[in-house]
A and B are shown apart, each in its own frame.
Chain A
Amino acid sequence: MIIEALLAFTFAAALLVFAVPNKYAHKLAFGLSLVPIAGSLYMWSAFETGGNALTGGQIAFETVAPWLEIAGYQLQWYVGVDGISLPLVVLTTFLTALAIMSAWTPIQDRQSQFYGLMLLMEANLIGVFTALDFFVWFIFWEAVLVPMYFLIGVWGGPRRKYAAIKFFVYTNIASLVMFIAFMALVFSLPVETFGLPEITQSLAAGELTSFYGLPADTLALVVFAAMFVGFAVKVPVVPVHTWLPDAHVEAPTPASVMLAGVLLKMGTYALLRFNFTMLPEQASVFAIPIGIIAVVSVIYGAMLALAQTDLKRIVAYSSVSSMGYVILGLIAFTEFGMGGATFQMVAHGLISGLMFMAVGVIYNATHTRIVDDMSGLADRMPVAVWILVAGAFAYMGLPLMAGFAGEFFIFVGSFGSTALPYAPVFTALAMFGIVIVAGYLLLAMQKTLFGPFRLETDYELTRAPLHDIAPLVALLGAIILLGVAPSLFFDMILDATVPILELGGGL
């Protein structure tokens, strides 16, 4: 019941924050957001690893209750966590609280609505990562979009309306494609619920039948492709990534933090849970195209980042690049590849969160994010700048920071992959991203942070306040902690990903 308690509390907190006056909302929201952290940490401490939730492993904090019945299928309230989802739950609660604190400075209008939406989004995100019934999952999955739509649309930048609608419609179309494909899959299985474990195990047992004239094999391929496309938009990978830079640039800092930190992980999480756990054989059929997508995302995304002049846009495109690594890790179908991909979700969540937050702190002071508009900021706001530098190095995969762990696991896993033909070539190509990422981040830092101070403002640039800096420090601490001791999460992740490989028939 801990998951229900967590969800209920977060929803209630959201409603409470909606109701309070604007001037109390920020502190109340932050205070309330500490409770989910405590909850998720309790779950972490009480968690005993026991395999993958979908493939028949032990499910922690599991609850099942019937909900409603449709077309002979029982819909259930079905939640629980395993080694893949628990780190993401912890990430969500942790990042939300910090994002809320990072909003104290930039959000000066309609605060109670803002913080209420943040908490609402947190609740839905927890739901996404804990749901084990398709419909429960899908509701949370889509419900995440609504708060984000408002966060971008109401508190965003000049082109916020365009960005918000683009984000909203694009990702929803993708969800619909995925939904239809998944329904066709379920209707061709002898299952009686939409429980994800049941569906997975039925597929693993080879119980897929034909669907209105479509043979089972073809159906599985079509469904895999459609679901991949659906989730790829969310991740996002090239070429369905263009909503992301727009959304990031326009979104207020805390929303960017959540978007890059957690929302993108929904896509890779779903790919792992659905495509790669349920249809591993089909994944190996599509291995080369997916490998190409991964490599192109990494290199092309990084090249795009190199061309940008807006700090947020740089980080946004680099997210595309980083997510390419995750795809590479998944398609490798090896222990370190998949485990590393999952680890990288958490790592990138923390690092991109830190980057957006730090850029946001600078923006709060300078009111510009254009690289050419400023120079030598390190002189005026040293703490924020040096943390940004640390974040940038984390992004570049500096060892002993979480990003390196994730990337290295992925590389070491995918290099020797047998599921992905030409795996060494793909891996080596993708790895070149670590050079380009260093190139554009260093270039941007050199121009903005270093050199003689130059910024045209009509006010004195001052140091960032403590409540801007505190979340940065917390994130940096977490990044280093996970970089030094990745096994805090990696052990439980491996415990949950290795059964997928066994299920895939030794792929």
Chain B
Amino acid sequence: MVTAFDYVPAIVLLPFVSFVVALFLGKYLPKKGAYGGIAATAGSLLLSIWVLLAVRSGSAHQETYWTWAEGVGAQPFTLEFGALIDPLSALMLVIVTLIATLVHVFSLGYMNDEGERDLPRYYAGLGLFTASMLGFVIADNLLMAFMFFELVGLCSFLLIGFHFRQEGPPSAAKKAFLVTRFGDYFFLVGVVAVFATFGTAAFSGAESFPALAESAINGTTEGINTFGFEPTTWFTIVGLLVLGGVIGKSAQFPLHTWLPDAMEGPTPVSALIHAATMVAAGVYLVARMYGFYVLTPTTMGIIALVGGFTALFAATMGIVKEELKQVLAYSTISQYGYMMLALGSGGYVAAVFHLTTHAFFKALLFLGAGSVIIAMHHNENMWDMGGLKNKMPVTYWTFLAGSLALAGIFPFAGFWSKDEILYEALIHAGSEPLLFAGYAMGLLAVPVTAFYTFRMVFLTFHGNARSEIARNPEPVRWNVKGPLSVLGVLAAVTGVINMVPVQKVLGLEGIDYLHRWLDNEWGGIEGLSSHHYAEIGPYSSTYPFGTEVATVLAGAAISLALALVGLGLAWKLYNVAEPVEHTAKLGGAKELLYNNYYQDEFQVWLANRTRGVSGNADTFDQGVVDGVVNGVSSVSLVSGDRIKRIQTGVVGNYALLLTLSLTALLVAFAILGGWF
């Protein structure tokens, strides 16, 4: 019987086919491959929804498609490609394909209508990007995940550097690839370590590495090679190694620096990268192998701390940026910090929830920004905008919805997910100082987020137009407005899939759909459920405000209040007819924030140091290593030159030398032979 799962490969392959078609035939096609891309991603979306429904109807799926390589002797590793379709991946498939489809449609407006060159390359890149991400999502083992993770990196390189004829984009593309590659190095070491430790990298099943790790810690499994460490210690090391890749891709501190630069790419690509593909990949990976991470409290604490810190750290940088997309970039870093905080504090569902809502509102914000950029003739400086509210209402209202979600204002999607993250961190922080630090920073980031978000909104859309272009912006077409509308609705209402506070406060059972979904209530794979993670996880819940309900209410109130404070401040400062810069009020911090805490400078310095070292190595190589080689040759030749000098050309000398040599030999052998 044909089931939805038979078409799982097609979900990945359709965008891939679109890539191939656009690459080779794109220039002959109408719209240079855009329609093919839309068709392919829409097809994938439909199939993904079908798969989602299939999971909803109670089944899950795991299948191996292709054995990549297989050991035969002492290292019987099986390296293969397969699909793991469970509630998590099914949800993610829908998100990715939805965003990808909308981005393709939007690109018609942003790229085709704007008369960009090299469109086949653009659509080929989008197709490959989508395909890679989908391959990553369905991966049923860590190696396959790594491979598609890398391909995602490649695609980001290609798309960020799309405008290769300028100086900036190629440099940004290089930086994006290189910084994430640095993280991936640790990831790859982790993958290798997982194989060396467990002999398998499968995510699911009794022989999967999380399951083996669990039983190894319980002492029930023998033969796990932990390289002389305690299992927990070793698993912490391995977990942190894999986390390196996550930090790189999800742009967490200190590997976040590539992401703001990545704004050099076309705006739809930014939407794709930030909402559904590259950056999401890191967080998704942690969720995918959550069963491994929850085993080691240290790792969890570090994840939470990194997440909380990044959330605050990136948010502070967002408040001084002048360019629309830059603000969004820092907001992305910050929001993924929240997801990491959630994962680190045991909020598996909360993280997935925020991943979902963020995908919608961040895609929305980027596409909205793209719409503004079209209107502004590719001027991104917010100080040149203003008053666009009336000129482009669709963009404004959808952008506003996205902003409210991002700022975490009730009842938009972002409120629910962010609130749950902070709640989870709060109730688990009891005896965990790392968690508590993460929570505190996450909470502090809330007003900052609301402030920069609405600073952006007010500067862009409110007040008076501050430039000629802003007074007469270029109109946008259906292909821009359509995707914005879809996402605007989603950003407003996605919260309903998981209204835990409502459930807890009002006692309405069953409206925490996402919890039930991820808990395999309808279908799923044994061992990959949220309550399993909670069981083996290190945390216990304490309620600092007495009861659970009180804590829920207090937590929500605090975060909402803080968000409103940030919003209010932005309103006061920037929702005026002629806003001015207030950065001077920051004092010494201004320069620090403008320069992104000198993180870029630090990394450039590091890169230059490396080049310096390599220059020295080259000097050493040329001078010493090769010098020895040439020295041996020179010494040989010079000694040859000396040796031949005994051939003086004078025959008398020859006779003398001959006689002397013969005499010397006679004497030597006389002594040796004892003749006398």
Enumerate chain A interface residues (CB-CB to B < 8 A).
Answer: 166, 169-170, 238-239, 241-243, 300, 303-308, 334-336, 376, 378-379, 393, 396, 398-400, 404-405, 408-409, 411-413, 415-416, 424, 427-428, 431-432, 434-435, 438-439, 442-443, 445-446, 449-453, 484-487, 490-491, 494-495, 498, 501-502
Beyond A405-B69, A415-B196, A446-B171, whether A304 also contacts B154 by CB under 8 A is no
Other-chain residue from B75, B151, B161, B171 in contact with A416 (beta carbon distance below 8 A): B75
Beyond A450-B164, A487-B67, whether A434 also contacts B174 by CB under 8 A is no
Q: Do the beta carbons of A242 and B174 come within 8 Å of each other?
A: no
Q: Do the beta carbons of B154 and A435 come within 8 Å of each other?
A: no
B 146-189 to A, binary, CB cutoff 8 A, 1 in contact else 0? 11101100100000010011110111011001100110110011
Chain A residues positioned under 8 Å from B75 (CB to CB): 334-336, 412-413, 416
Enumerate chain B interface residues (CB-CB to A < 8 A).
Answer: 67-75, 77, 79, 143, 146-148, 150-151, 154, 161, 164-167, 169-171, 173-174, 177-178, 181-182, 184-185, 188-189, 191-193, 195-197, 225, 227, 607, 610-611, 613-615, 617-618, 621, 625-626, 629, 633
Chain A residues positioned under 8 Å from B169 (CB to CB): 450
Q: Do the beta carbons of B73 and A498 come within 8 Å of each other?
A: yes
What are the 8 A-B residue pairs with the smallest beta carbon separation, nearest first? A399-B147, A450-B170, A416-B196, A307-B618, A306-B614, A242-B626, A450-B164, A307-B614
Q: What's the nearest-Cβ distance from chain A to residue B658, in Å?
A: 32
Chain B residues positioned under 8 Å from A396 (CB to CB): 181
A32 to B629, alpha carbons, bound, how many Å? 40
Chain A residues positioned under 8 Å from B196 (CB to CB): 412, 415-416, 424
Q: Do the beta carbons of B150 and A446 come within 8 Å of each other?
A: no
A334 to B76, alpha carbons, bound, how many Å? 11
A466 to B177, alpha carbons, bound, how many Å? 31
A336 to B610, alpha carbons, bound, how many Å? 32
A376 to B161, alpha carbons, bound, how many Å? 12
Other-chain residue from A169, A376, A428 in contact with B165 (beta carbon distance below 8 A): A376
Chosen A-B contacts, 5 in total, with CB atoms closer than 8 Å, are A304-B621, A405-B68, A416-B75, A438-B178, A453-B165
Q: Do the beta carbons of A307 and B611 come within 8 Å of each other?
A: yes
Q: Do the beta carbons of B150 and A398 come within 8 Å of each other?
A: yes
Residue on A nearest B118 in the bound complex, by CB = A382
Chain A residues positioned under 8 Å from B74 (CB to CB): 334-335, 501
Beyond A239-B625, A431-B189, A432-B185, whether A393 also contacts B154 by CB under 8 A is yes
Residue on B nearest A169 in the bound complex, by CB = B633
Chain B residues positioned under 8 Å from A431 (CB to CB): 185, 188-189, 192
Beyond A399-B148, A446-B171, whether A424 also contacts B185 by CB under 8 A is no
Residue on B nearest A386 in the bound complex, by CB = B121
Q: Do the beta carbons of A303 and B614 come within 8 Å of each other?
A: yes
Chain B residues positioned under 8 Å from A308 (CB to CB): 618
Residue on A nearest B143 in the bound complex, by CB = A408
Q: What's the nearest-Cβ distance from chain A to residue B83, in Å?
A: 16
Q: Do the beta carbons of A412 and B192 come within 8 Å of each other?
A: yes
Q: Do the beta carbons of B164 and A242 come within 8 Å of each other?
A: no
Chain A residues positioned under 8 Å from B143 (CB to CB): 408
A485 to B610, alpha carbons, bound, how many Å? 36
A432 to B186, alpha carbons, bound, how many Å? 9
Chain A residues positioned under 8 Å from B147 (CB to CB): 399-400, 404
Q: Do the beta carbons of B68 and A243 come within 8 Å of each other?
A: no
Q: Do the beta carbons of B188 and A442 come within 8 Å of each other?
A: no
A309 to B189, alpha carbons, bound, how many Å? 30
Beyond A242-B621, A416-B225, A451-B164, whether A487 also contacts B178 by CB under 8 A is no
Chain B residues positioned under 8 Å from A336 (CB to CB): 71, 75, 77
Residue on B nearest A305 in the bound complex, by CB = B614
A300 to B154, alpha carbons, bound, how many Å? 25
Q: Do the beta carbons of B167 and A452 come within 8 Å of each other?
A: yes
Chain A residues positioned under 8 Å from B173 (CB to CB): 446
Residue on A nearest B72 in the bound complex, by CB = A494
Chain A residues positioned under 8 Å from B191 (CB to CB): 412
Residue on B nearest A487 in the bound complex, by CB = B69
A495 to B73, alpha carbons, bound, how many Å? 9
Q: What's the nearest-Cβ distance from chain B to residue A136, in Å?
A: 31
Chain A residues positioned under 8 Å from B184 (CB to CB): 434
Chain A residues positioned under 8 Å from B621 (CB to CB): 242, 300, 304
A305 to B621, alpha carbons, bound, how many Å? 11
Chain A residues positioned under 8 Å from B617 (CB to CB): 300, 303-304, 307
Q: Do the beta carbons of A242 and B227 come within 8 Å of each other?
A: no
Other-chain residue from B146, B170, B610, B633 in contact with A306 (beta carbon distance below 8 A): B610
Chain A residues positioned under 8 Å from B70 (CB to CB): 487, 491
Beyond A398-B154, A442-B178, A451-B167, whether A501 also contacts B148 by CB under 8 A is no
Chain B residues positioned under 8 Å from A443 (CB to CB): 174
Chain A residues positioned under 8 Å from B227 (CB to CB): 424
Q: Do the beta carbons of B195 and A412 come within 8 Å of each other?
A: yes
A385 to B607, alpha carbons, bound, how many Å? 25
Q: Do the beta carbons of B72 and A242 come within 8 Å of each other?
A: no
Q: Do the beta carbons of A398 and B72 come within 8 Å of each other?
A: no
Of the listed residues A243, A307, A398, the one surrounded by the most CB atoms of chain B closer than 10 A to its CB is A307
Residue on A nearest B227 in the bound complex, by CB = A424
Beyond A398-B150, A439-B178, whether A411 also contacts B629 by CB under 8 A is no
Q: Do the beta carbons of A411 and B69 come within 8 Å of each other?
A: no
